[in-house]
Structure 1
Amino acid sequence: MNNDLLYQLALTQVPHIGDVRAKTLIEAFGTAEAIFKAPKRKLALLEGIGEVAATTITNFDDFKSFEAEIAFIEKAHIQPLFITDAAYPQRLLNSYDAPPLLFYKGNADLNYNKMIGIVGTRSNSDYGKQICETLIQDLAAHEVCIISGLAFGIDTIAHKAALKNNLKTVGVLAHGLDKIYPAQNKNIAADMLMQGGLLTEFRSGTLPDRHNFPSRNRIVASLCDAIVVIESSEKGGSLITAELANGYNKDVFAFPGKVTDQRSAGCNYLIKQNKAALITNAQDIIDAMNWGKSVPKTTSQRSLFLDLTDDEQKIVTILNEVESIHIDQLYLKTGLSSSSVANALLMLEMQAVITSMPGKMYKLC
Structure 2
Amino acid sequence: MVDEKIYWMGWQYLLPGGAKRIWNLVERFGSPQAAWMASGEALVTRGGFEPRGAAHLVRRRSELDLQEELARLQEQNITYITFEDSDYPQLLRVIFDPPPGLFVRGTLPPPGGQTVAVVGSRRPTPYGVTVAEKLGGELARAGVTVVSGMARGIDSAAHRGALAAGGRTVAVLGCGVDVVYPRENKRLMEDIIEAGAVISEFPPGSPPEAWHFPVRNRIISGLSRATVVVEAAEKSGALITADLALDQGRDVMAVPGPVTSPQSRGPNQLIKQGARLVESAADVLEELGITCLFPGKHLQSPAMPGLTAGEETVYGMLSGDPVPVDIIIENTGLAAQQVLSALMFLEVKGLVRQFPGRLYARREKPSRF
Shorter-chain TM-score category? 0.7 to 0.9
1:278 and 2:277 are equivalent in the alignment: yes
Contact 2:171 2:197 in 1 (8 A): yes
1:117 and 2:133 are equivalent in the alignment: no
Within 5 Å, which residues of 2 pair with 1:136-285? Answer: 136-274=136-274, 276-285=275-284
Counterpart CA distance in 1 for 2:354 and 2:203 is 29
- Any idea what SS the aligned residue of 2:178 has? coil
Counterpart CA distance in 2 for 1:207 and 1:141 is 34
From the superposition, tell whether residues 50 and 64 of structure 1 become closer, same or farther in structure 2 (CA, over 3 Å): closer
Contact 1:91 1:111 in 2 (8 A): no
Counterpart CA distance in 2 for 1:168 and 1:38 is 42
Contact 2:169 2:192 in 1 (8 A): yes
- Any idea what SS the aligned residue of 2:64 has? helix
Partner in structure 1 of residue 321 of structure 2: 308
Counterpart CA distance in 2 for 1:97 and 1:308 is 31
Counterpart CA distance in 2 for 1:212 and 1:122 is 16
Q: Deviations over 1:95-141 (max 9, x none)?
A: 12111121001023264510010101112122112222222333234
From the superposition, tell whether residues 40 and 182 of structure 1 become closer, same or farther in structure 2 (CA, over 3 Å): closer
Contact 2:121 2:263 in 1 (8 A): yes
Partner in structure 2 of residue 100 of structure 1: 100
- Any idea what SS the aligned residue of 1:116 has? strand
Partner in structure 2 of residue 359 of structure 1: none
Partner in structure 2 of residue 12 of structure 1: 12
Counterpart CA distance in 1 for 2:44 and 2:211 is 30
Q: Deviations over 1:201-223 (max 9, x none)?
A: 11122111111111111110111
From the superposition, tell whether residues 290 and 27 of structure 1 become closer, same or farther in structure 2 (CA, over 3 Å): farther
Counterpart CA distance in 1 for 2:253 and 2:17 is 34
Counterpart CA distance in 1 for 2:91 and 2:38 is 29
Counterpart CA distance in 2 for 1:266 and 1:142 is 27
Within 5 Å, which residues of 2 pair with 1:72-91? Answer: 72-91=72-91
Counterpart CA distance in 2 for 1:210 and 1:30 is 33
Partner in structure 2 of residue 319 of structure 1: none
Counterpart CA distance in 2 for 1:24 and 1:110 is 30
> How many angstroms does 1:307 deviate by?
6.1
> Counterpart amino acid of 2:283?
D
- Any idea what SS the aligned residue of 1:65 has? coil
Partner in structure 1 of residue 36 of structure 2: 36
> Counterpart amino acid of 1:125?
T
> Counterpart amino acid of 1:229?
V
Partner in structure 1 of residue 290 of structure 2: 291
Counterpart CA distance in 2 for 1:106 and 1:138 is 22
Q: Deviations over 1:265-319 (max 9, x none)?
A: 1111112223x2222221111111000146999xxxxxxxx7612769xxxxxxx
From the superposition, tell whether residues 188 and 33 of structure 1 become closer, same or farther in structure 2 (CA, over 3 Å): same
From the superposition, tell whether residues 159 and 335 of structure 1 become closer, same or farther in structure 2 (CA, over 3 Å): farther
Counterpart CA distance in 1 for 2:132 and 2:15 is 41
Q: Deviations over 1:224-255 (max 9, x none)?
A: 11000001101111011111111111100001
Partner in structure 2 of residue 322 of structure 1: none
- Scaled by the length of structure 1, the TM-score of the pair is 0.76
Counterpart CA distance in 2 for 1:172 and 1:98 is 14
Counterpart CA distance in 2 for 1:42 and 1:133 is 52
- Any idea what SS the aligned residue of 1:186 has? helix
- What is the count of residue pairs matched by the alignment? 324
Partner in structure 1 of residue 344 of structure 2: 328
Within 5 Å, which residues of 2 pair with 1:33-72? Answer: 33-37=33-37, 50=48, 56=54, 60=58, 62-67=61-66, 68-72=68-72
From the superposition, tell whether residues 307 and 3 of structure 1 become closer, same or farther in structure 2 (CA, over 3 Å): closer
From the superposition, tell whether residues 63 and 86 of structure 1 become closer, same or farther in structure 2 (CA, over 3 Å): farther
Q: Deviations over 1:342-361 (max 9, x none)?
A: xx47xx6xxxx89xxxxxxx
> Counterpart amino acid of 1:279?
V
From the superposition, tell whether residues 263 and 66 of structure 1 become closer, same or farther in structure 2 (CA, over 3 Å): farther
> Counterpart amino acid of 2:139?
L
> How many angstroms does 1:180 deviate by?
0.7
> Counterpart amino acid of 1:280?
E
Partner in structure 1 of residue 295 of structure 2: none
Counterpart CA distance in 2 for 1:13 and 1:336 is 36
Q: Deviations over 1:309-337 (max 9, x none)?
A: 2769xxxxxxxxxxxx9643456796779
Contact 2:255 2:277 in 1 (8 A): yes
Unaligned runs of 5+ in 2: 293-300, 305-318, 326-340
> How many angstroms does 1:44 deviate by?
9.0
Contact 1:14 1:60 in 2 (8 A): no
